[in-house]
């Protein structure tokens, strides 16, 4: 659990460092660009969600003039793409210990602890605790599912990610 607190702190620090508005959903592409990444759609197999490539020794990655690249599966919908970008940034922040990294996100289940940590990073980045909790408390909904759908609209993230974040933050619909 202590490690999750460290991950959450890293996302808070990152959002503050780049002066990112968190109350109306995080501009994840804007953040990635501020961090020096080129972000784009990629023609990937159905099981691949996206990838990150960093090579500070190169002038180009996959023919693109950059040292930092994030590719997302062109066939994914908007909210999934946002989560994939945040996930790939998590690999960069949590695992890029030298000048090179390559990682990819598969849609398969049965993820490793490292991948689960990166998903937690993405959730913290896209749904910061304070902003998410405040939005959660403001929403008046007739059911838990309706509340999740409203939060999903605010933060532009997958339904399952909202449900998991509610659980992670210990929020409850009952008052």
Domain CATH number, residue 24? 1.10.10
Tokens representing 151?
């939060």
What is the SS3 string spanning the chain? CHHHHHHHHHHHHHHHHCCCCCCCCCCHHHHHHHCCCEEEEECCCCCEEEEEEEECCCCCECCECCCEEEEEECCCCHHHHHHHHHHHHHHHHHHCCCCEEEEEEECCCCCCHHHHHHHHHHHHHHCCHHHHHHHHHHCCCCCHHHHHHHHHHHHCCCHHHHHHHHHHCCCCCCC
- Output the pLDDT for position 2: 59
Q: What is the pLDDT of residues 64-85, one digit of tens each?
A: 777 898 999 999 999 999 999 9
Residue 136 lies in a domain: no
Query: What pLDDT was estimated at residue 21?
Result: 84
Contact of 35 with 144, CB cutoff 8 Å: no
pLDDT of residue 98: 65
pLDDT at 175: 47
Residue 81 lies in a domain: yes
Residue 23 lies in a domain: yes
Asked if the structure places residue 162 within a domain, the reply is: no
CA distances from residue 158 to 12, 76, 98, 140, 151 in whole angstroms, order as listed: 21, 11, 32, 20, 10
Number of domains in the chain: 1
| Amino acid 57: pLDDT | 78
Distances (CA, A) of 59 to 14, 39, 41, 70: 26, 16, 20, 16
In a domain, 110, yes or no: yes
Residues of the chain with pLDDT under 50: 175
Quick check: is 161 in a domain? no
Q: CB 38: neighbour CB atoms within 10 A? A: 17
pLDDT at residue number 55: 81
125 near 88, Cβ under 8 Å?
A: no
Is 114 among the domain residues? yes
For position 143, what pLDDT does the model report? 87
pLDDT value of position 43: 92
Domain boundaries, position 35:
2-127
């Amino acid at each position: 659990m202590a490690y999750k607190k460290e991950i959450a702190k890293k996302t808070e620090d990152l959002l503050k460092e780049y002066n990112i508005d968190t109350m109306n959903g995080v501009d994840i592409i804007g953040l990635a660009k501020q961090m020096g990444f080129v972000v784009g759609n990629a023609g990937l197999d159905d099981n691949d969600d996206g990838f990150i490539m960093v090579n500070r020794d190169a002038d180009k990655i996959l023919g693109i003039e950059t040292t930092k690249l994030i590719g997302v599966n062109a066939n994914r919908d908007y909210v999934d793409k946002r989560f994939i970008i945040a996930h790939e940034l998590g690999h960069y922040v949590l695992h890029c210990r030298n000048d090179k990294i390559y990682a990819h996100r598969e849609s398969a289940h049965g993820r490793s602890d490292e991948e689960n940590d990166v998903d937690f990073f993405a959730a913290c980045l896209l749904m910061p605790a304070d902003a998410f909790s405040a939005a959660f408390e403001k929403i008046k909904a007739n059911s838990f599912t309706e509340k999740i759908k409203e939060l999903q609209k605010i933060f532009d993230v997958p339904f399952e990610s909202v449900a998991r974040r509610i659980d992670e933050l210990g929020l409850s619909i009952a008052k």
